[in-house]
Amino acid sequence: MSIHKSEIVKILKSKGLRVTPQRFAVYANLRSRGDHPTAEQILTDLNKNTPTSSQATVYSALQTLREVNLIREVLLQEGVSRYDANVTPHHHFRCRQCEKIEDIDWDAFQSINLNSLRPGLTVDSYEITVQGLCEKCQ
Amino acid sequence: MSIHKSEIVKILKSKGLRVTPQRFAVYANLRSRGDHPTAEQILTDLNKNTPTSSQATVYSALQTLREVNLIREVLLQEGVSRYDANVTPHHHFRCRQCEKIEDIDWDAFQSINLNSLRPGLTVDSYEITVQGLCEKCQ
DNA sequence: CTTTGTGCAAACGATTTGCAGGATG
DNA sequence: CATCCTGCAAATCGTTTGCACAAAG
């Protein structure tokens, strides 16, 4: 669960991208938290003690990290983009009350049989989104 | 598949809401199309021939219709909200190329066993999102 | 040194809001 | 005729962009 600094360095460099403190900080922040924060939450968090990144830089870093597949965007709330450092396939649980989003292991569900899909469609991936209430919001 | 005017009237009235031509037009437009349009697409469509609704009114009608559960919002694209007049449970296919969204019948997949979810969570519903390429984009 | 990235502020697109006039029940 | 809704324009929110300076390789 620790951040393999060498790995992010390798991935960025292999694409001809620079490893800046800001990019690293954004990635590290995203990895260290269990939720799926918005760009603004990351920005606030990074600058809590000392100024680390500007707003534009956080947005740009998120875009870059997404392009090299170090992070991904999750579409679980209207209006804002949320990010996830877990790029392995998994599902999501979303609390309809507090809007918290929690990962669900891929193996928690049996796999879906996609053969009954209309022919002509090519499938890349799928994902299950479960909605409900978390324990705090019961 | 036709629009049961009486039903929308009944639902709105039962909540003390008025049945205005604009609300009806937005709902009728959404029902008559197979895609999942944005607010702006609906607005353009409604005003194609004669001015029918203003921008603010379309947004407000969508919000109202959503509150009474006549339509729902689908979260499948960043930045914009898309709407769906199909409020019965179903899944979605999304083309990663043209971003078209297509409904998948609920019965297309076997049902998911939710028992393996972490205890403490209460489940309301779930939904499968399949990503891939539609036939046009192959 | 050359190129790419950062920070600032202004620009932008989708959505919301305040308010005066208009339509609905 | 009281209330709720519409339309307009201005405001707001998240995100993007242009550009001068700074840092990385």
Amino acid sitting at position B122: T
Are both B49 and B104 inside the same structural domain? no
Question: Which of B78, B124, B138 is opposite residue A81, by nearest beta carbon?
Answer: B78
Q: What is the mean pLDDT of residues A25-37?
A: 93
Count of CB contacts below 8 A, A vs B? 97
From the alpha carbon of A58, which nucleotide's C1' atom is closest? Answer: C6
Of B84, B101, B127, the residue at which a domain comes to its end is B84
CATH number assigned to the domain comprising residue B27: 1.10.10.10
B47 touches strand D (CB under 7 A): no
* DSSP string for residues in chain A: ----HHHHHHHHHHTT----HHHHHHHHHHHH-SS--BHHHHHHHHTSSS----HHHHHHHHHHHHHTTSSEEE--SSSS-EEES--S--EEEEETTT--EEEE-GGGSPPP-GGGSPTT-EEEEEEEEEEEE-GGG-
**Distance between CA B114 and CA A110 in Å, rounded?**
10
Chain B residues within an 8 Å CB radius of A110 = 112-113
Chain A residues within an 8 Å CB radius of B81 = 78-79
**Distance between CA B37 and CA B1 in Å, rounded?**
18
Interface test with A, best of B95, B117, B134 (most A CBs within 10 A): B117
Tokens 């590290």, residue?
Answer: A28
Of A84, A102, A121, the residue at which a domain comes to its end is A84
- Joined together, the tokens standing for residue A38 give 């918005």
Model confidence band, residue B3 (pLDDT cutoffs 50, 70, 90): low
Whether A1 shows a pLDDT value over 50: the answer reads no
User: B50: distance to nearest CA of chain A, Å?
Assistant: 30
Tokens 């008025």, residue?
Answer: B18
**Distance between CA B28 and CA B19 in Å, rounded?**
13
**What local confidence, expressed as pLDDT, does residue A4 receive?**
66
Summarize pLDDT for B48-97 with one digit per residue, the tens. 999 999 999 999 999 999 999 999 999 877 789 999 999 999 999 988 88
Are both B73 and B38 inside the same structural domain? yes
Crossing angle between the packed helical segments A55-67 and A21-32, to the nearest 10 degrees: 70
Are both B10 and B64 inside the same structural domain? yes
**Distance between CA B130 and CA B93 in Å, rounded?**
5
Q: Which nucleotides of C are covered by protein (CB under 7 A)?
A: 4-9, 14-18, 23-25
- Measured CA to CA in angstroms, residue B98 lies from A63, B6, B10, B95, B131 at distances of 21, 36, 38, 6, 12
Q: Which of residues 8-37 of A touch strand D (CB under 7 A)?
A: 13, 18-21
Kindly give the pairing relationship between strand B91-95 and strand B122-133.
Answer: parallel
Are both B16 and B47 inside the same structural domain? yes
**Distance between CA A66 and CA A73 in Å, rounded?**
7
Are both B48 and B94 inside the same structural domain? no
Number of domains in chain B: 2
Burial label for B18, CB within 10 Å (0-12, 13-18, 19+), is: exposed
Chain B residues within an 8 Å CB radius of A96 = 124
Q: Which nucleotides of D are covered by protein (CB under 7 A)?
A: 4-9, 14-18, 23-25
Ramachandran assignment for B56, one of left (phi > 0), alpha (psi -120 to 50 degrees), beta (any other): alpha
Q: What is the mean pLDDT of residues A117-128?
A: 93
**What local confidence, expressed as pLDDT, does residue B1 receive?**
47
For chain A, give the mean pLDDT: 91
Are both B68 and B109 inside the same structural domain? no
From the alpha carbon of A15, which nucleotide's C1' atom is closest? Answer: C4
Summarize pLDDT for B88-105 with one digit per residue, the tens. 999 999 888 887 888 999
CA of A119 to C1' of D13 (A): 41
Tokens 């260290």, residue?
Answer: A32
Are both B33 and B80 inside the same structural domain? yes
**What local confidence, expressed as pLDDT, does residue B116 receive?**
86
Of B56, B84, B112, the residue at which a domain comes to its end is B84
Are both B95 and B78 inside the same structural domain? no
Are both B105 and B50 inside the same structural domain? no
Are both A60 and A98 inside the same structural domain? no
User: B8: distance to nearest CA of chain A, Å?
Assistant: 25
* DSSP string for residues in B43-70: HHHHTSSS----HHHHHHHHHHHHHTTS
Apex A138 CA angle, B68 and A99, nearest 5:
60
Its domain, for residue A98, covers 90-137
Whether A32 shows a pLDDT value over 90: the answer reads yes
Q: Flag if A73 and B78 touch (Cβ within 8 Å).
A: yes
Are both A80 and A96 inside the same structural domain? no
Are both A79 and A95 inside the same structural domain? no
pTM for the model stands at: 0.88
